[in-house]
Structure 1
């Protein structure tokens, strides 16, 4: 399986200047590629090929006075920026044809120097390396200090350097894991578990375990409001406003990091202890338009379910999504009698058929397990995970880049 491992970088002031130069050059090449394609479309001509764009926007452009500064950064960074533009158009057309899951994508847009998140990518052709002292040696940038929170299991195929809205730098390494080794990392397990996700309790398991909701956003709300007020008082374009913006971004990053770390620890624990995991396919987008929107976003159910899914695939566990229209809160898990819909304030109810008193969430978790076919067995033998493309979400522990993916 192809994954990403994220680590915090601490560049020197000179290296930050070099990284800013590389970010800017990559952005210019991306925008030039978008402009070339849009000009061709407006003129009724075919889109220029990747080879043609590389020749005109990089090789020839570096020889002109207007674009001579492109030679100050690694050519691989510029080539990868062109590939990003090509991928953006490929995804756009696939979305138009209905060949891509998720909401319809818009046409690629020009990048701005004011974008909160910036990144550049180095492949093996760039000849980047990790020094014996543990620093990341990047071409035309230098040896950057890295905080290694774990060891890389194999030699990475590429590294992406990311600067987030809070001004933090990260290195994201792409690695290909060995499925046989991954299967050996997890202990044997036979149990199957059903999970009911909620707001009062983040998760209730079919064995009766209740996991409290940390409510990271709610707990930090006072601090965030104060930082937001400070930002609104600063004059636009001033250095003090930029300081206030970064302070607010750091506060939001702390909430995001804490939530992600909680999701990683809980999902790894559930995958480690169970051979099969079942969860309800919630309509998160619909719930996010209700009065519970802030609490729903604070819980981060989609991120947690995504972690369960890819970790189950990696470590040979079975993962099942139960349909969102399954009446898990209406059916008695003991006798199977259906009692009808219930308002959210009803936390306990008595089955009219068998007289059993149910905790609403625990009963729903048991129904999720039964609906997934996990009630009588461990739901089959281990499944060997297939390799998948590395997403932009990163792996890592606390302080890793946005949407981090854990090992």
Structure 2
């Protein structure tokens, strides 16, 4: 009998809180930030004195900080659990995850997470959706723009309230649902797509197609530069200064939304059209540190890969990651020979063994596709023999 699998999906909606509800959200942001810093400080001091890891519970701080009693208790519990998970990740792999740091009011994101409680008496839940709003603990019924509704078999788990730099409030509802695993179709070279990262084209696939998304930040650079010049001439703290700062924040938010919209649509198109996708484990952070490569992180290729991965997995399709040291660019797709003398800037090159003229990016994507299928077949054989 096939075992069911549990997935989490998120519905993010825009909130229209009243002034009192907005003030309550802001107070919760401050309480969660304060509690995080206090817990982290006590944990560091306790570890220094005893060489042991211990994080106090939120109840310890309510006596000295009575304002914590006005906050959502589940939000304070989530702060404790998030800090505990952050230390678990750090202790498990210090080279990958950094030590938890203190949160700043100016630099950190304003958000808090509350859990949905299901009452035993059957009277309902602490968080639920209405026709035009969301009922949140202690905040009451908050008006929301519900563009999407959850399916009836989904189970609400958490709600994360966040505030953008432009002053907009959002609520991210996390639902859990179970599905039976669908029968996987073995990928073939014809139904598998290889993606090779390209700085100028975002990516080049194994069919030679380039994404070529708009450069949103570059297109708005002149407007953004002019707005920032105006801001620099204004008196900090004045009304004109705050209004101009708000306009700049809205422009940055608009650019971010344009980028996310493209990444979601492009990843959905690929996930629906192909049975498997092969990508390279490229370290974009190290690549962005190279001065001659330009703004690598602006395109959002790393987020695109994460979007593509979870969408493929929910469809029961393999997402194959090829090892980052695989010589996909220097390997000839036709004969398999490796050209170690290939210049770094050559867009087209001729194989010295078979004499085939190759397009650098397309050849790399085809090699990633073939290598990914080899890895997938090996993993399936290993799973069958286990």
TM-score range normalised by the length of the shorter chain:
0.7 to 0.9
Other structure's SS at 1:145 match: strand
**Matched length:** 366
Counterpart of 1:405 in structure 2 is none
8 Å CA contact 1:122, 1:128 repeated in 2: no
Structure 1 residues 380 and 68: alpha-carbon distance in aligned structure 2, compared to 1, 3 A threshold = closer
8 Å CA contact 2:43, 2:55 repeated in 1: no
Note the 1:92-171 alignment, pairs <5 A. Answer: 94-95=89-90, 97=91, 99-100=92-93, 103-109=96-102, 111-125=103-117, 127-153=125-151, 154-171=154-171
**Are residue 313 (structure 1) and residue 317 (structure 2) matched?**
no
Note the 1:176-215 alignment, pairs <5 A. Answer: 176-180=176-180, 183=182, 191-215=191-215
8 Å CA contact 1:6, 1:171 repeated in 2: yes
Query: Tell me, which stretches of 5 or more residues in structure 2 are unaligned?
Result: 1-6, 119-124
Counterpart of 1:348 in structure 2 is 348
Measure how far apart 1:136 and its partner are. 0.9
CA-atom RMSD, angstroms?
A: 3.3
Counterpart of 2:258 in structure 1 is 258
Output the TM-score relative to the length of structure 1. Answer: 0.78
Question: Residue 78 of structure 2 is aligned with which of 75, 80, 86?
Answer: 80
Measure how far apart 1:311 and its partner are. 2.3
**Are residue 57 (structure 1) and residue 49 (structure 2) matched?**
no
Measure how far apart 1:306 and its partner are. 1.8
Other structure's SS at 1:6 match: strand
Measure how far apart 1:375 and its partner are. 11
Other structure's SS at 1:9 match: strand
8 Å CA contact 2:47, 2:54 repeated in 1: no
- Alpha-carbon distance between aligned partners in 1 of 2:187 and 2:335, rounded to the nearest angstrom: 28
**Are residue 303 (structure 1) and residue 295 (structure 2) matched?**
no
Structure 1 residues 327 and 11: alpha-carbon distance in aligned structure 2, compared to 1, 3 A threshold = same
Structure 1 residues 330 and 128: alpha-carbon distance in aligned structure 2, compared to 1, 3 A threshold = same
Q: Deviations over 1:132-153 (max 9, x none)?
A: 3230112222322222232223
Structure 1 residues 294 and 9: alpha-carbon distance in aligned structure 2, compared to 1, 3 A threshold = farther
Measure how far apart 1:286 and its partner are. 2.2
8 Å CA contact 2:127, 2:137 repeated in 1: no
Output the TM-score relative to the length of structure 2. Answer: 0.82
8 Å CA contact 1:128, 1:136 repeated in 2: no
Counterpart of 1:396 in structure 2 is none
- Alpha-carbon distance between aligned partners in 2 of 1:374 and 1:40, rounded to the nearest angstrom: 50
8 Å CA contact 1:206, 1:366 repeated in 2: yes
Q: Which has the higher contact order (CA 8 A, sep 6+)?
A: 1
Measure how far apart 1:22 and its partner are. 2.0
Query: Tell me, which stretches of 5 or more residues in structure 1 are unaligned?
Result: 62-66, 384-407
